[in-house]
Amino acid sequence: MSNKKLNENKQLLNEDWSYFVGQVLPVLTLGLFAAVKIGFNLLSDSNFKASKLSRTVYDSLDKLYDDREFVKDFVAILEKEGNLEDMVKSAIEFNKQDYYKYAPKGSTKRNAIEDGRFYRTYILSRLYSNDEWDWDAPASRVISNVMKSNGYKKFSKKHNFTSQDDTMMRALFYYMISRPDFAENVKKYLYTAVKQNKNTIIRAIDKTDFDSFGGL
């Protein structure tokens, strides 16, 4: 092939590439972005419906551990309570018929199926009720103190919670505290964040947790 022909082919390739970058690629990128956004919105909507929470409470969950004043008060209450591992163990044992029934004793690993079972069989019934007679005492005591703290009161006011929303939050706090990794995460992330005056890097409840509930 002659040098002239090679140069013509290179020029055609350059023109094709320029057209792809300038015209085709932006369209593909926008299409991919739109598809990802639609998928995320569908998943988020599915998680919201599965949670049975109010929209206000659901939307606020991502912001709970970002609120430094709340986290500071929460940590102070938990430190005063003492041994968090014992509190978590007590809550799990207290609700053994509904929660982590077959889990190895002493394990701090979470299981999506067990989390889903507890949420659906127990927590859902507490979202719209102040019926807490069968709550484990240490966890119930912590939650009552959290609800009375300035950090929570300001968080509730900031997000325009109704009294029903506050009832939902009580139930969610019980769900959080009775998960097997709660003590470990609090010490590793919340205690450190308060001590270093930094933001936490974990969420109180990841909304994707709710995704598994619908399939159980």
User: What is the sign of the dihedral through the CA atoms of 188, 191, 195 and 201?
Assistant: positive
- Residues 6 or more apart in contact with residue 104 via CB below 8 angstroms: none
Q: What is the pTM of this model?
A: 0.76
So where are the chain's domains? Answer: 1-51, 53-215
The per-residue pLDDT string of the chain (216 residues; one tens digit each, 9 = 90 and over) reads 555 555 545 554 555 555 444 554 454 444 444 333 333 333 457 788 888 999 999 999 999 999 999 999 999 999 998 889 999 988 888 887 767 777 667 778 887 788 888 888 888 888 988 777 678 889 999 999 999 999 999 999 999 999 999 999 999 999 999 889 999 999 999 999 999 999 999 999 888 777 655 444
d(CA 30, CA 47): 25
